[in-house]
Chains A and B, each alone.
Chain A
């Protein structure tokens, strides 16, 4: 298992465009999280999936943001009509309680720059 993967690693887009990011979690992990991190800050929670069900969304997640996990495996995060304030690192993490611990394993992130 190669861990959590995210694509693309970098994305530059113009304001107003739509972007979509993909996250592939560790295969046996049923929990998947999206976080956003800006420079000098810790990651901020955006949304959470257990299997295919989106169980929680942060108030940070405006209606321009949508996330899916259609078959309980990979997940996508879409941002519509991007704004300069959306520029950040978008991190995906996955976890499982199967082994009694539930630390979250993070992917390398997608760095979004909105010009």
Chain B
């Protein structure tokens, strides 16, 4: 089966750095995605990792270790608008590129 774990909630201070972890156990692996989802809105794509290492995109970075089944999303210089749920999703290589999502981490940014 497929299992993706991430913390349910996190709180961080405006201007700080926060790391959201994700561990996965899937039947196959063809890439890991991070999505941001504001309440009542659709998920929006943040990052994609298929090889080990760090991918940086502005204030957001994502890391992958395939041998450990582990990824994290790093958010720097937090802003109030970063308050949202962050979804970790794995393409398990089933051929359809369907994504298996974790339950999401609700991040609250406080002043």
A residues whose Cβ falls under 8 Å from a Cβ of B: 4, 31, 33, 40-45, 48, 50, 55-56, 91, 95, 101-109
Contacts and interface: CB of A to CB of B under 8 A. Distances in A.
B103 A33 contact: no
Interface of B: 4, 33, 35, 41-45, 48, 87, 89, 94-104
A105 to B, nearest CB: 7
28 contacts: A33-B98, A33-B99, A40-B104, A41-B104, A42-B87, A42-B89, A42-B101, A42-B103, A43-B43, A45-B98, A45-B99, A48-B96, A48-B98, A50-B96, A56-B94, A56-B95, A56-B96, A101-B48, A103-B33, A103-B48, A104-B33, A104-B99, A106-B42, A106-B43, A106-B44, A107-B42, A108-B41, A109-B42
Closest 6 CB pairs between A and B?
A42-B101, A106-B42, A48-B96, A103-B45, A56-B96, A45-B98
A42 B103 CA distance: 4
Given A48-B96, A56-B98, A108 B48 contact: no
A105 B45 contact: yes
A41 B44 CA distance: 16
